[in-house]
Amino acid sequence: MKPAPEDRIPLDDLLVFHRLARSLTSSFDLDTILRTILDHMERFIEAEMWTLLMLDEERQELYYAIAAGSEENSLRDLRVKVGEGVAGWVVEHGETLIVPEAENDPRVQKEGASEVRRLRSVIAMPLRGRKGVQGVIEILNPRSGQMTDYTIAFLHILADHAAIAIENARDVARIQQLTITDDTSGLYNVRHLYDILNRELELCHGAGQPLSLAFLDLDRFKLVNDLHGHLVGSELLARTGQRLRELSRKQDLCFRYGGDEFVILMPDTTADEALTHAGHLHSELLATRFHLKEGLQLTVSASVGVATAPKDAATIHAIIGMADDRMYKVKTSGRGKVCSM
């Protein structure tokens, strides 16, 4: 049975679906996808504000990933716990919430962002993928007459498209992360080091900014494997990598080079600054007591070589080689120090 003419989807709305599907499948970049979703929401329904919240599964909180409209900037640092407020309710129940009159609704009163906006009405829809709810789309204070059955059905279809695209983008990001991550330490691997170092050296040459690199080799690490076994050795490597990341600055990148060797890449860092930071990192690492299984406590020492581009070297292999040579200089003169020349 054919639908009556008045029940058919208007051509303009079909074109919206078509454009949305093409846009969402043309990129796996999450930021691009989120902006695309919000752009289409803005075009389809008139409202004072549109927000898209993403779920932080570890903390069980929602954060405002993107927003458009009034008070947009006020939402940047706000968090909404699962179960609280409109968005939290939607995630907890996995259902769409439509509140035509928000004044007396307790869920709106607990909304995490209520301090920065006056809600009269709200439409909140879950972004539900194969693995559960990924986030929530909120449409705040839609224009009168916008909450029709047709509009809600249309938004549900948009939300379903959006959820699939977001989940696909996250899956691609996880796969990409696995290809650049060392399994044992959780740090970046040597392949990624070469990619990043190539990019940073280009910036170094183009902008004239220094780039420093510290090459660390753990001292007598073979004894750990010989005395306690390779499982303990692998755990100690993982804990050492984690500690190096904790001790490094925000702009620095940590890599496992191979075996018991690590590299700290320090962008926009002079030779003197790199030596100071490497010395601090080395002393703090030496002072760290790692608590392992069955009450075992171990410490690690490292020999460290530091090199800086363009002062010491100008190419990938040259700067790594220079730092490596200086590390071996420490190894042959007593171990457990930092060398930069």
pLDDT digit string (tens) for 2-26?
444 445 556 566 666 666 666 666 6
Average pLDDT of the segment spanning 238-267:
95
pLDDT of residue 211: 94
pLDDT band at 323 (very low <50, low <70, confident <90, very high): very high
Average pLDDT of the segment spanning 303-329:
94
| Pairs from 329-334 (Cβ < 8 Å, separation ≥ 24) | 329/305, 330/303, 330/304, 330/305, 331/217, 331/219, 331/303
Instruction: Give whichever of 101-110, 202-211, 287-296 has the largest mean pLDDT.
Output: 287-296
Burial annotation 198-221 (CB, 10 A radius, 16+ → b, else e): eebbeebeeeeebbbbbbbbbbeb
pLDDT > 70? residue 68: yes
Average pLDDT of the segment spanning 212-226:
94
Q: What is the pLDDT of residues 111-137, one digit of tens each?
A: 554 444 577 888 899 998 888 898 998
pLDDT of residue 245: 95
pLDDT averaged over the chain? 85
Spell out the domains of the chain, with CATH numbers in brackets: 5-179 (3.30.450.40), 190-339 (3.30.70.270)
Which amino acid appears at position 184 of this protein? T
Residue scoring higher pLDDT (46 or 326)? 326
pLDDT of residue 18: 61
Q: Which two tokens stand for residue 306?
A: 């530091």
Q: Taking Cα atoms as reference points, which of 33, 30, 50 lies closest to residue 41? A: 50
pLDDT of residue 110: 57
pLDDT of residue 130: 83
Average pLDDT of the segment spanning 72-80:
73
Average pLDDT of the segment spanning 89-94:
92
Q: What is the pLDDT of residues 305-316, one digit of tens each?
A: 999 999 999 899
Average pLDDT of the segment spanning 257-274:
95
Q: What is the pLDDT of residues 155-188, one digit of tens each?
A: 888 888 888 888 888 888 788 778 889 989 999 9
DSSP string, 38-103: HHHHHHHS-EEEEEEEEEETTTTEEEEEEEEETTGGGGTT-EEETTSHHHHHHHHHTS-EEES--T
Average pLDDT of the segment spanning 24-37:
74
pLDDT of residue 2: 43
pLDDT of residue 321: 95
Q: Taking Cα atoms as reference points, which of 15, 41, 232 lies closest to residue 125? A: 41
pLDDT of residue 116: 42
pLDDT of residue 115: 43
Is the pTM higher than 0.85? The answer reads no
pLDDT of residue 43: 74
pLDDT of residue 233: 93
pLDDT > 50? residue 1: no
pLDDT of residue 316: 93
DSSP structure class, residue 121? -
pLDDT of residue 114: 46
CA distances (Å), origin 142, targets 38, 128, 162? 14, 22, 20
pLDDT of residue 3: 46
pLDDT > 80? residue 48: yes
